Amino acid sequence: MNVIDLKEAVLSRLITHHIGSISREGKLILSSEETRVSDGDTERFLQSYFLDTLKTDEVFEFCHSIDLSHNTVYTLVNNLFADEDSFISLSNNLATLLYEKSTHPQIKDGKLSVVIFNHIRYGDELVRGIGLFKSETTVPFLQLHEAEEFSAFGHEYGFELKGIDKACLILENNQEGGYSVLIRDTAGKNKEAQYWVDDFLHVQPSANEYNLTKQFMALTKDFVVTQASEEFMLSPTDKIDVLNKTMEYFKENEEFDKEEFTDTIFSDTAMKESFLEFDTAMRPEQESDVNSRFDISPKAVRSQNSVYKSVLKLDKNFHIYIHGDKSLIQRGTEPDGRKFYKIYYENET
């Protein structure tokens, strides 16, 4: 996987438009001139604001159900990479498209900045990037005005440097495959927030080792806690045991092999077959077959640590972390109906 490094990126061109919310009768105000940056320090702050929160491991790509050429943002970006002289007019088109997608009542007004960056490192290459950044949240900040005889405080509203609301950076590579795209959306997975990723950008995760590792670990966990739990009446310790084996497999192997994985994790043939059917149902069969072998990303495995926490929760009194052999913990019921777990161990630390 080619490493993406944004530290050397240089802001080349910038224009900012106002995007209102259609449901709130907000207006679209397009700029006819590029945005001015007052000095070098401001430019550095801007680059930090735009780029610092982007995750360079989670790479996406433009897509479309019929043909990639029908993806409007992809087409506009294509044209802009080919002809920077059309920067203002194409940025207007991008802003207009985003405005037309801003129909949900919870979508906020904001400023859309369209930016061209130079000197982005992609593996051994330096490539250009086109950034689409929407700033929605303003915060108050204090200013101290000093004079010879007295000082006075005032306040203004502006954007926090620690994180932009919505971001997209398109790198000039893999044009035929939909480019390499980095995205951010602080609104998370809320349905009203998906207009940025699904309705406007229309992107999907790229088939790189980070995304494939993360997706398959998430798919396995979903199977264990939903379908397998119900179909095979798995106890909490049984579910934890399968999750522990899964985490152990991804930590100890450099390459993923689906056949080897299923043989290792599922000793029960019926459960193994159920998992393979679940995999096919959740991912198209062709995609499932193509991605049955891939290099494991250690960083993606670490990102799943919190999701894979092996915690047995007993009422509100106890949380038991189980990291190993489930045979060392036994479940039972007292004659008076009280439930218990018996734990065996050799050393106390």
In the chain, where are the structural domains located?
4-205, 210-343
Given this model, what pLDDT does residue 150 score?
A: 66
Give the C-alpha distances (Å, rounded to integers) separating 173 from 9, 78, 331, 337: 15, 11, 56, 65
Query: Distance between CA atoms of 116 and 13, rounded to whole angstroms?
Result: 5
Q: What distance in Å separates the CA atoms of residue 93 and residue 73, rounded to the nearest whole number?
A: 9
Query: What number of CA atoms fall less than 13 Å from residue 15's CA on the CB side?
Result: 19
Q: Which two tokens stand for residue 48?
A: 């930090």
Task: Give the phi and the psi of residue 81 in degrees, each rounded to 5.
Answer: -60, -35
pLDDT value at residue 325: 61
φ, ψ of residue 262 in degrees (nearest 5): -65, -35
The pTM assigned to this predicted structure is: 0.77
Phi–psi pair at 330, nearest 5 degrees: -120, 145
- In the predicted model, residues of the chain with pLDDT beneath 70 are 1, 141-143, 147-158, 187-193, 284-290, 307-329, 341, 344-345, 348-349
Q: What does the pLDDT read at residue 24?
A: 83
Measured at the CA of 130, the angle between CA 10 and CA 136, to 5 degrees, comes to 95
Q: For residues 240, 242, 243 and 244, what is the CA-based torsion angle, rounded to 10 degrees?
A: 80
In the Cβ-directed half-sphere of 228, how many Cα atoms lie within 13 Å? 30
Q: Distance between CA 320 and CA 306 in Å, rounded?
A: 15
Which stretches of the chain are DSSP H helices? 40-51, 72-82, 87-101, 209-222, 229-231, 236-252, 258-265, 269-282, 285-290, 298-303
| CA pair distance 183, 168, nearest whole angstrom | 4
> What's 112-136 look like in SS3?
EEEEEEEEEEECCEEEEEEEEEEEC
Q: How many Cβ atoms sit within 10 Å of the Cβ of residue 145?
A: 9
Task: Name residues whose C-beta falls within 8 Å of residue 210's C-beta, 6 or more positions apart in sequence.
Answer: 1, 57, 58, 59, 297, 299, 300
H-state helical runs in 52-153: 72-82, 87-101
Burial of 59 (0-12, 13-18, 19+ CB in 10 A): buried
* CA dihedral of residues 150, 153, 154, 156 (deg, nearest 10): 130
pLDDT score, position 291: 73
Instruction: Give the pLDDT of residue 286.
Output: 46
**DSSP letter string over 163-187?**
--SEEEEEESS-TTTT-EEEEEETT
Contact 229, 240 (CB under 8 A): no
Maximum separation of any 2 CA atoms in the chain, in Å: 85
C-alpha to C-alpha distances, 108 to 22, 92, 95, 232, 254, nearest whole angstrom: 10, 19, 14, 46, 44
The number of CA neighbours under 13 Å toward the Cβ of 293 is 3
